[in-house]
């Protein structure tokens, strides 16, 4: 990869999308032994999507809440990630094989190179841990009054969770990432 991008430092970023809705996530909670702990549940169907990417090495993130997940939204996200990347950095963006990630209409900026995960391997994507953390600790067992309330809660959860680079590094830095990136240079 370094040969294709001389003079640029390669950074591995991992990208994924998550759907958050008014139905929410039911999470485990503590309760007295033998008690029946209950969680509220909602049956409305409003959704919002969060496009996110993480650089585990630096604990940096890029995230945008979008109304849907498709090629047009992915193009907007890629443009923002390209703008956020440091000037002398080539982003190696690792992502799954969703249809909008491989569309012919996808516009990939010059400072981003896409690398696809093997099929059915979400466990290799550190972004999955960010989604799990936000669902379990920030958005689980909640009822949202309306779509605006849902969007505000998702925004607040993202900011609170990703505000600390050290916490992101701790959550997302898989041991194999550094060696894989070093071998690609």
What class does CATH assign to 9-18+42-184? alpha beta
Q: What integer pLDDT is reported at residue 183 of this predicted model?
A: 56
Q: What integer pLDDT is reported at residue 139 of this predicted model?
A: 85
- Surface-to-core class of residue 40, CB atoms within 10 Å of its CB (0-12 exposed, 13-18 middle, 19+ buried): exposed
What is the spatial distance between Cα 120 and Cα 89, in angstroms, rounded to a whole number? 29
Question: Rounded to whole angstroms, what are the CA distances from 112 to 24, 92, 153, 184?
Answer: 33, 6, 30, 15
Nearest Cα to 141, choosing from 37, 17, 67, 50? 37
In eight-state DSSP terms, residue 163 is S
In eight-state DSSP terms, residue 135 is I
34 has a pLDDT exceeding 90: no
What is the spatial distance between Cα 113 and Cα 133, in angstroms, rounded to a whole number? 27
Average pLDDT over every residue of 27-39: 68
Lowest mean pLDDT among 46-55, 76-85, 90-99, 172-181: 172-181
- Surface-to-core class of residue 88, CB atoms within 10 Å of its CB (0-12 exposed, 13-18 middle, 19+ buried): exposed
What is the spatial distance between Cα 86 and Cα 44, in angstroms, rounded to a whole number? 42
pLDDT classification of 64: cutoffs 50, 70, 90: very high
Q: What integer pLDDT is reported at residue 33 of this predicted model?
A: 81
What pTM was estimated for this model as a whole?
0.83
Packing angle of the helix pair 127-134, 147-162 (nearest 10 deg):
120
Q: What integer pLDDT is reported at residue 23 of this predicted model?
A: 60
How many other β-carbons are positioned within 10 Å of the β-carbon of residue 162?
21
Residue, of 5 and 132, whose pLDDT is higher? 132
Q: What integer pLDDT is reported at residue 156 of this predicted model?
A: 95
Which tens digits make up the pLDDT trace of 65-115?
999 999 999 999 999 999 999 899 999 999 999 999 999 999 999 999 999
Q: What is the mean pLDDT of the chain?
A: 86
Nearest Cα to 84, choosing from 107, 105, 111? 111
Average pLDDT over every residue of 109-126: 94
41 has a pLDDT exceeding 80: no
């Amino acid at each position: 990869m370094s040969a294709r991008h001389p003079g640029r430092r390669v950074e591995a970023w991992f990208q994924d999308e998550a759907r958050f809705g008014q139905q929410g996530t039911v999470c485990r909670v503590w309760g007295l032994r033998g008690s029946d702990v209950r969680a509220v549940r909602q049956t409305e169907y409003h959704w919002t999507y969060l496009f996110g990417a993480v650089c585990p090495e630096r604990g940096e993130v890029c995230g945008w809440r979008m109304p849907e997940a498709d090629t047009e939204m992915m193009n907007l996200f890629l443009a923002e990630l390209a703008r956020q990347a440091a000037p002398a950095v080539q982003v190696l963006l690792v992502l799954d094989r969703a249809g909008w990630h491989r569309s012919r209409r996808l516009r990939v900026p010059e400072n981003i190179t896409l690398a696809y995960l093997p099929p059915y391997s979400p466990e290799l994507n550190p972004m999955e841990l960010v989604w799990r953390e936000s669902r379990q600790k920030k958005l689980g067992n909640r009822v949202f009054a309306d779509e605006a309330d849902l969007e505000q809660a998702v925004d607040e959860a993202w900011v609170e969770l990703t505000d600390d680079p050290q916490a992101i590094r701790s959550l997302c830095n898989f041991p194999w990432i550094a060696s894989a990136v070093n071998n690609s240079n």
